[in-house]
């Protein structure tokens, strides 16, 4: 497939999403998006079977954006990309959007192999370092208390125990001792392009996106995905957090970018329709908040709210991810005064304490 010559077709913000590069590259192979930007796809070992990485022309070499999971298969594919696809050209830097293992997994290995520095935001780096250091065999009590409080039964708690603790370091190669920090508002010149660093939160604390005003291109990581939704979870390490508020704020902020921005996401395919997709995701969360609020009318634990959020019965790791999302929606409702928490033994039961007025919730999202 030939690269895009010009994606800047005038668009209306309500138009359906368009995928101008419909065929994704094979695993370990690249496809040119536009001059100086290559789309590289690597396999994942989850239900979601791929991640998109990007290579950005940087002088006589390339900058790498996101890295893939630390598995021998992905390392093998990277060897081929570095030696054959890029013909041994120098790697100028390894830029990572956020700390999740599919993005940061091979950053340390790539920096070691190529001599390139790692570039990240501070919070993502510190969180990665913290998680790398918290490997131990037994699951700590506060983790079990978190899941018990959310309504897990004995079998589900056994699953948490058997999952172990500190799995992060198994999926992420050793991080370099030092790194280059960027933050919201910084400018990053990569080759002939200047990118603004835009930061979102909610999926991870300080998630970086790279935006080129001249090209109208946003490299979005997990902040903006066209076909699936990013996981927005409360975790035991910060058990009273309200990440959904941060996420909704970030989605609203996305609409400051022009309607015709080409989004290069970390999953699915590059697309046009940033405003439409932001609206869809905000509407989706409002719908879910409303359904969860409905469940709280008869009092519910976080696990009782699953039917309001998921069509299928959750098992295994999906149960952990789903629980995090359920707690996130309940915490949002609690924060805006629509539910109250009551302790029943070890479990938190949420009760509706106000009427869900959709317009009021919408105004709150847009005005903050
Ligand atoms: Zn992620």
Query: How confident is the model over 174-185, as pLDDT tens digits?
Result: 999 999 999 999
Instruction: State how far the alpha carbon of 67 is from the alpha carbons of 19, 56, 320, in Å.
Output: 23, 13, 25
Q: Give 98 Cα–ligand 1 centroid separation in angstroms.
A: 7
Phi, psi (degrees; rounded to nearest 5) at 365: -65, -45
Following DSSP, what letter does each residue of 95-135 receive, concatenated? E-S-SSHHHHTTHHHHHHHH-PPEEE-HHHHHHHHHHHH--
Residue 1: the pLDDT is 47
Q: Give 203 Cα–ligand 1 centroid separation in angstroms.
A: 6
Mean pLDDT, the chain, as a whole number?
94
Q: Which residue would you say has higher pLDDT here, 245 or 49?
A: 245
Q: Give 223 Cα–ligand 1 centroid separation in angstroms.
A: 8
Whole-angstrom distance, CA of residue 285 vs CA of residue 1: 36
* Confidence category of residue 17, pLDDT binned at 50, 70, 90: very high
Q: Which pTM value belongs to this model?
A: 0.94
Q: Give 102 Cα–ligand 1 centroid separation in angstroms.
A: 7
Q: Give 340 Cα–ligand 1 centroid separation in angstroms.
A: 30
**Above pLDDT 90, what percent of the chain?**
86
| Contact (CB, 8 A) for 193 and 212 | yes
268: Cβ–Cβ under 8 A, 6 or more apart, which residues?
A: 52, 225, 226, 227, 228
How far does CA 323 lie from the centroid of its chain? 17
Q: Give 353 Cα–ligand 1 centroid separation in angstroms.
A: 33
Q: Give 157 Cα–ligand 1 centroid separation in angstroms.
A: 25
Whole-angstrom distance, CA of residue 365 vs CA of residue 32: 37
Residue 90 has pLDDT above 60, yes or no: yes
Summarize pLDDT for 261-309 with one digit per residue, the tens. 999 999 999 999 999 999 999 999 999 999 999 999 999 999 999 999 9
Sequence-distant contacts of 189-194: CB under 8 A, at least 24 apart: 190/56, 190/57, 190/58, 190/63, 190/92, 191/36, 191/56, 191/57, 191/58, 191/59, 191/63, 192/36, 192/57, 193/36, 193/56
Q: Give 172 Cα–ligand 1 centroid separation in angstroms.
A: 13
Q: Give 230 Cα–ligand 1 centroid separation in angstroms.
A: 7
Q: Give 100 Cα–ligand 1 centroid separation in angstroms.
A: 5
Residue 166: the pLDDT is 81
Q: Give 6 Cα–ligand 1 centroid separation in angstroms.
A: 29
Residue 344: the pLDDT is 94
Q: Give 346 Cα–ligand 1 centroid separation in angstroms.
A: 31
Residue 313 has pLDDT above 50, yes or no: yes
Average pLDDT over residues 7-13: 69
Whole-angstrom distance, CA of residue 306 vs CA of residue 314: 8
Average pLDDT over residues 69-73: 96
53 has which bridge partners?
A: 40
* Confidence category of residue 347, pLDDT binned at 50, 70, 90: very high
| Contact (CB, 8 A) for 96 and 179 | no
Nearest to 98 by CA among 198, 173, 250, 208: 208
Q: Give 10 Cα–ligand 1 centroid separation in angstroms.
A: 31
| Contact (CB, 8 A) for 303 and 151 | yes
Residue 91 has pLDDT above 60, yes or no: yes
Q: Give 207 Cα–ligand 1 centroid separation in angstroms.
A: 9
Residue 48: the pLDDT is 83
Please return the burial class of 195, using the count of CB atoms within 10 Å of its CB with bins 0-12, 13-18 and 19+.
buried
| Contact (CB, 8 A) for 92 and 62 | yes
Q: Rounded to the nearest 5 degrees, what angle is found at the Cα of 303, between the Cα atoms of 297 and 305?
A: 40
Q: Give 355 Cα–ligand 1 centroid separation in angstroms.
A: 33
Residue 172 has pLDDT above 80, yes or no: yes
Average pLDDT over residues 167-196: 96
Average pLDDT over residues 341-351: 96
Q: Which residues of 265-286 are buried (b: 16+ CB within 10 A; e: fewer)?
A: bbbbbbbbbbbbbbbebbeebb
Residue 9: the pLDDT is 66
Residue positions counted in the chain: 368
Average pLDDT over residues 121-128: 97
Q: Give 84 Cα–ligand 1 centroid separation in angstroms.
A: 29
Q: Give 90 Cα–ligand 1 centroid separation in angstroms.
A: 27
Q: Give 101 Cα–ligand 1 centroid separation in angstroms.
A: 8
């Amino acid at each position: 497939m030939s690269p895009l010559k010009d994606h800047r077709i005038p668009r209306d913000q309500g138009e359906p999403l368009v995928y101008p590069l419909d065929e994704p590259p094979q695993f370990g192979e690249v496809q040119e998006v536009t001059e100086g930007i290559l789309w590289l796809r690597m396999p994942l070992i989850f239900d979601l079977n791929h991640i998109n990485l990007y290579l950005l022309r940087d002088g006589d070499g390339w900058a790498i954006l996101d890295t893939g999971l630390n598995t021998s298969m992905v390392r093998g594919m990277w060897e081929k990309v570095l030696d054959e696809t890029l013909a041994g050209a120098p790697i100028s830097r390894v830029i990572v959007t956020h700390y999740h293992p599919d993005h940061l997994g091979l950053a340390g290995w790539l920096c070691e192999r190529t001599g390139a520095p790692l570039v990240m935001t501070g919070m993502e780096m510190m969180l990665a370092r913290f998680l790398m250091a918290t490997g131990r065999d037994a699951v700590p009590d506060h983790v079990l208390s978190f899941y018990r409080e959310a309504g897990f039964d004995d079998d589900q708690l056994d699953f948490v125990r058997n999952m172990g603790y500190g799995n992060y370091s198994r999926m992420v190669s050793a991080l370099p001792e030092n790194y280059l920090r960027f933050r919201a508002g910084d400018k990053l010149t990569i080759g002939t392009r200047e990118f603004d660093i835009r930061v979102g939160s909610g999926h991870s604390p300080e998630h970086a996106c790279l935006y080129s005003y001249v090209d109208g291109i946003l490299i979005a990581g997990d902040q903006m995905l066209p076909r699936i939704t990013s996981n927005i979870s409360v975790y035991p390490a910060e058990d009273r957090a309200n990440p959904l508020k941060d996420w909704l704020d970030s989605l609203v902020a996305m609409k400051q970018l022009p309607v015709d921005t080409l989004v290069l996401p970390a999953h699915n395919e590059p697309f046009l329709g940033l405003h439409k997709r932001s609206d869809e995701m905000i509407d989706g969360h409002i719908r879910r908040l409303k359904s969860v609020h409905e469940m709280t009318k008869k009092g519910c634990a976080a696990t009782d709210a699953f039917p309001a959020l998921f069509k299928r019965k959750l098992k295994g790791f999906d149960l952990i991810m789903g629980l995090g999302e359920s707690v996130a929606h309940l915490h949002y409702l609690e924060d805006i005064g629509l539910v109250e928490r009551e302790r029943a033994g070890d479990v938190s039961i949420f009760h509706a304490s106000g009427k869900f007025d959709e317009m009021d919730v919408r105004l709150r999202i847009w005005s903050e």
